[in-house]
Structure 1
């Protein structure tokens, strides 16, 4: 069954060799870029385009056309390629449409070698854009998937290539447009009719006989021996490897330097090796998602691979839910339009015909929602399974406090790559928690909002004093985690608690000796601590600018500093507020970090002077709250703080080991 994708939705690919067919309302440029695990192009050699139509595993058309066939062999791609972006662009110069909003929406179909459609996508919603990343083929857990992207660029090819990290984007875009302009005099066939999208061999042969658009001359990029001189690579549906082509030239999709081997998980199986009788090769493998493996993302170390895998899970959950919500909205709007058409005619508003029309509209809506729910359940089930193997494999810095890895805690010798600040989830599957990770060292301060702004159903049942207590506990848990995951002597924690109101929450830090000095109390303690830290920032900045780090005074603590501030603005005068803002702005660059547990409403007396301070900090809440906005897909993620289970002694146990390790190292 063909999957009709909407923007953001994905679908597994049953095999490694596929075709991507493009039908547009007028001539367009088709190409494909290769990306690494970070979504970046390595150089200009990682794009197949009309001026250079062949890459290992890729073949595209040499000219602009209303119809294209792109050949892709995913097994023949370079090993460090993790994504293939299929791009479309409108030709520049006279005769060009200028923007996709002025032409029919491009239609793309991913097909197997026999022409069977795997997934289709219509790139709707474009307006001023003249280039678009239409589809993305990406590797996930050893298998490949296709995702409908539909990301348009009003700046054209240059903006698209620049967004993928290519330094010479403008020059390459000019080269592509020049190559297309040189071939625009060639005859361009009209776009295939709607019936041609079924991709049968007969229709493909008929289109080739009409002089349809060729996918280039010469052998396929992953072909074996070249055809005999004068032979032409067919523009119709590629044959199976080694099979003769109707046009006389063989198209062999096998990698010339790779021996025949069993297919990778999820890429299908050879004929006769496990597929049911009468089923297409690889059908059974496509129905079974690959078994999740912890650390299967790219990276130099297991920690980096796990970090990248967690972010991959976050992106997959965001896209899956976005596709589901978009499909439900589309089904609702479609039903409303169909019902409105019935109501527009007063003569048809009542009676059996009107009732039948309404029932049909509701049935279509229910069918679309059911299909969207089925796709969402499939994707979420795979993510739940992946989370089940990833969570136990996480190192301490990325693990929850209830993870057994903390019971085997050892004082680290190296600073970790990232830190877990809590969990994120969406209402479609609340039990699926994605770790919220931030890179170390911290690039911005943190703010635990202990005020009523953390307005959730749970927060509504708590009074102000309880919210402040939970805010102090959350700040302590984060500070304890930061202290524990750094090597001895490389991280120091200081606390400002003017009224001593957070003494209970701070007990794990105070009683274990994790603090560099007792919490600063009263106005004098606030002034002294801020003065010491601002002086440290000034001295380190001057040493860095002069290039003379040896000039730092011997009494300066070289460790990174975390300042935990409770009950702001109590105990802070105007000078202290200015120093706090200075630390928030300048501190992270020289190893001084800010963690505030405060109620913004209580600081209203200072007026807008503190607005830059709040905006510079990453806001967290002491109770679950859907306040973290995702501008990429528009989700509001629910954040859950990283508190230890009730009654657990894991935090003080870990802190005692970390303090003992520091003393053993004489720091």
Structure 2
């Protein structure tokens, strides 16, 4: 199971022989620093870089590239090495992008030797930085963990090495720069972007069978998510970044690729955009794609095929929107260059010649933009048609609350592969909603943000109403989790120190699905946190010792646990805050999950000490908000929270069924 990390989050590593894979879309140099327990690098001989690519246990590439594989044997590093930090740096003085904010967000995956992903991290939020500490692998109680760092440096590699305490950082950075320059001189050109023949959106024939159809998804992500993040991002490996649209030739003709020479034949040196003969007649329009079919993706079961199809739709929407935005940016930038050229010539600044040149430049821009919009509308129409077919076919775990499938709801006997957390859309077609699915069991906790900052919709909502909407959203998420687990496999606890959420929690308390009444007061907070902390400690010790569940105390609830925390930090002392952070970091790996209903500003009295807590949780909002970014092209996806239809009794009916199934299971 892959862990999709956010900045500050950590994850245990199952072994010491690993690979770190880096995908950046543009050439980057990769290195690593080996530091002691205090985080200080004692010398330049503890830095692995293209000029000195190997040390015991660590090996990196000798040149900058868009894809890297770092070989790690953490069992072979020196005994005094406690941290291995993986560094990324953009080459300097090569004419490439000088900052990470100008390129797609780098993606890092820690994998086993067989390629199985252990943890992934998308480095979003970078701007002027040209060097960054991506992840670090560190010792913890004779075991190794990986932490997503994402610390960037606008001062480049020199500033990064200085911050790591490396002696002679400037000289070492210059040596790395020289080695990278030599490597780039030896490197080959970047391969061309993939053609439309491989695009899922442009299939020319209907699938032969749902199980063999295309549409395999990434990752993400995500909105990443927005990635997710992730954002919004599934637990599979992300696809290659969206290839930018190839700009047309200066005369407005589309790009043409030279035909490959036959083996052993002569090489064609003709410029691919220079016409030497009349253009060929227009080709016939492409065949229309087949009618969309629910389950039109790979997978062993219909649920898996629908899951893959939904993420394929998400990827398609991200790609086609990225292509449209890239084409519009190119058209506008070309028009600006042409207008600048007209204005730079004094003879054409005034008079009819200048006006004609400016009008011609604007007309070309409008023509290219119009063609890009036509292609986008065509792809969006196909995705809309596919959504109209897929949405009615979704199972309970993937369905909206207003879906008819809930009327025939029965408590399942096995856990589904994913859960719907809301919807995602982009401004180019707001009515086209893609289900936001997250894998089960949960790999991260949830933070339902009840604060009024960071969203225009939140700022326009009354503070009291926003808090109630946040609680209603949390209850809807908890009810859906209870509904998709078999009886006895999921337990929900509630901490409501001041009792301010009693009305919102009424559906949970009245139905009897809670393990106990909501905990109130400082004593109730301490009791619940102590019980869950003990559970995490005992299960961790059993796993490390290789023991099964039989070794656990008989009174320990081995079901998945969800703790809903309201009104934080009211009723929380320093010890309770520490336990909460511990549950957020260590709980998901052993089946204890956190759902915070809070505004970050309410906890500002604790200062930055709680920043890792917020970053370790997946932030969702009670009102629409565009805070999620996907891991491919960094689109800002608008998240739509789940909504129970006005006046509907679906939530109460579902919880009543869950409670009845739990009573039958206990008998």
TM-score by shorter chain over 0.5? yes
Which residue of 1 is the match for residue 96 of structure 2?
Answer: none
CA contact (8 A) 2:238 2:631 kept: no
In structure 2, what is the equivalent of residue 488 of structure 1?
487
Other-structure match for 1:442: 442
CA contact (8 A) 2:525 2:572 kept: yes
1:597 equivalent to 2:597? Answer yes
Pairing 1:192–2:270 present: yes
SS of the residue corresponding to residue 530 of structure 1 reads helix
**Corresponding residue number in structure 1 for 2:512:** 513
Contact kept, 8 Å, 1:569 with 1:602, in 2: the verdict is yes
* Counterparts of residues 530-545 of structure 1 (less than 5 Å): 530-545=529-544
Alpha-carbon distance between aligned partners in 2 of 1:164 and 1:617, rounded to the nearest angstrom: 21
Counterpart Cα distance in 1 of 2:238 and 2:404: 40
- Contact 2:628–2:638 under 8 Å retained in 1: yes
Is 1:140 equivalent to 2:139 in the alignment? no
Q: State the secondary structure of the residue aligned to 1:306.
A: helix
Name the CA distance, whole Å, in 1 between partners of 2:563 and 2:579: 12
Task: Map 1:32-47; keep pairs closer than 5 Å.
Answer: none
Question: What does residue 630 of structure 1 align with?
Answer: 630
Asked if structure 2 preserves the Cα contact closer than 8 Å seen for 1:142 and 1:290, the reply is no
Structure 1 residue 559, shift from structure 2 partner: 0.8
Once the 2 structures are TM-superposed, how far is the Cα of residue 186 of structure 1 from its aligned partner? 7.0
| Structure 2 residue aligned with 1:302 | 302
User: What is the match of residue 649 of structure 2?
Assistant: 649
Residue aligning to 2:327: 327
Mapped pair 1:347 → 2:425: no
1:198 offset after TM fit, Å?
Answer: 9.1
Q: Give the whole-Å Cα distance in 2 for the aligned partners of 1:97 and 1:527.
A: 62
Which residue of the partner structure matches residue 213 of structure 1?
A: none
Question: Are the structure 2 counterparts of residues 164 and 433 from structure 1 closer, same or farther at C-alpha, using a change threshold of 3 Å?
Answer: closer
Partner of 1:206: none
Matched, 1:98 2:177: no
Change (3 A) 1:410 1:138: farther
Change (3 A) 1:132 1:530: farther
Matched, 1:659 2:662: no
* 132 and 97 in structure 1: CA distance in 2 versus 1, 3 angstrom threshold: farther
| Residues 454, 621 of structure 1: 8 Å contact kept | no
Deviation of 1:459 after TM superposition, in Å, equals 1.7
Per the alignment, residue 451 of structure 1 pairs with: 451
**How is 1:285-434 mapped onto 2 (pairs within 5 angstroms)?**
286-434=286-434
Deviation track 1:478-532 (CA, whole Å, cap 9, x = no partner) reads: 0000000001110011100001111111111111111111000010000000000
Q: Secondary structure at the match of 1:568?
A: coil
Displacement of 1:287: 4.0
Deviations 1:196-231 (A, max 9, x none): 889999x9xxxxxxxxxxxxxxxxxxxxxxxxxxxx
* 8 Å CA contact retained: 2:204, 2:287: no
Cα deviation 1:343-368 (Å, max 9, x = unaligned): 11112111111111111111101101
Q: Normalised by the size of structure 1, how large is the TM-score?
A: 0.62
**Cα pair 1:564 1:596 within 8 Å, conserved:** yes
Displacement after TM superposition at 1:585 (Å): 0.6
- Paired with 2:338 and 2:645, the residues of 1 have a C-alpha distance of 52
- Give distance in 1, aligned partners of 2:574 and 2:522: 12
| Pairwise CA distance, 1:188 | 5.2
Q: Distance in 2 between matches of 1:470 and 1:96?
A: 54
Q: Is the CA contact 2:563–2:594 (under 8 Å) kept in the aligned structure 1?
A: yes
Q: Which residue of 1 aligns with 2:211?
A: none
Deviation at 1:632, TM superposition (A): 1.7
Higher relative contact order (CA closer than 8 Å, sequence separation 6+)? 2
Q: 1:192 to 1:615 in 2, by over 3 A?
A: same
Per the TM alignment, residue 542 of structure 1 is displaced from its structure 2 partner at its CA by 1.1
Distance 1:469 1:393 in 2: 32
Instruction: Map residues 88-167 of structure 1 onto 2, 5 A cutoff.
Output: 98-99=186-187, 130=190, 134-135=194-195, 137-138=197-198, 140=200, 143=203
Alpha-carbon distance, 1:136 to partner: 6.8
- Seen in structure 2, the aligned counterparts of structure 1 residues 498 and 164 have a Cα distance that, compared at 3 Å, is closer
Query: Is 1:474–2:473 an aligned residue pair?
Result: yes
1:607 aligns with 2:667: no
Question: Shift of residue 139 of structure 1?
Answer: 6.5
Q: 1:289: how far off?
A: 2.5
- String of CA shifts for 1:128-183, please: whole Å, max 9, x gaps: x6556544743638936999xxxxxxxxxxxxxxx999xxxxxxxxxxxxxxxxxx
Contact 1:141 1:292 (C-alpha < 8 Å) held by counterparts = no
- Give the 3-state SS of the residue equivalent to 2:627 in structure 1: strand
Q: State the distance in 2 between where 1:450 and 1:504 align.
A: 16
Q: Is the 8 A contact 1:141 1:297 kept in 2?
A: no
Q: Are residues 131 and 328 of structure 1, via their aligned partners in 2, closer, same or farther at CA, if it must alter by over 3 Å? A: closer
Query: Given that residues 201 and 316 in structure 2 are in contact (C-alpha distance below 8 angstroms), is that contact kept between their aligned partners in structure 1?
Result: no
Alignment size in residue pairs: 438
1:43-82 residue CA offsets vs partner (Å, 9 max, x unmatched): 99xxxxxxxxxxxxxxxxxxxxxxxxxxxxxxxxxxxxxx
Partners of 1:424 and 1:585 in 2: how far apart? 27
Q: TM-score, normalised by structure 2?
A: 0.62
Aligned to 1:23: none
Is the 1:99–1:130 contact (alpha carbons within 8 Å) kept by the matching residues of 2? no
RMSD: 3.2
* In 2, Cα distance between equivalents of 1:569 and 1:322: 41
* Counterpart secondary structure, 1:593: strand
CA–CA distance in structure 2, aligned partners of residues 654 and 574 of structure 1: 38
Q: Secondary structure at the match of 2:555?
A: coil
- State the distance in 2 between where 1:577 and 1:195 align: 64
Rounded to whole Å, the distance in 2 between the matches of 1:593 and 1:576 is 16
Residues 1:357 and 1:310: Cα distance change in structure 2 (over 3 Å): same
Q: Within 5 A, what are the aligned runs for 1:71-86?
A: none
Residue 192 of structure 1: how far off its partner (Å): 3.2
Output one character per residue of 1:391-448: Cα deviation in whole Å (capped at 9) or x when no partner.
0100111111011111111110110000010000001000000011100001111101
Gaps of 5+ in 1: 1-6, 8-42, 45-93, 101-128, 148-162, 166-184, 204-277
1:569-604, Cα deviation, whole Å (9 max, x unpaired): 110000000000010011111110001100111111
Q: 2: CA distance between counterparts of 1:200 and 1:527?
A: 81
Residue aligning to 2:570: 570
Shift of 1:195: 7.3
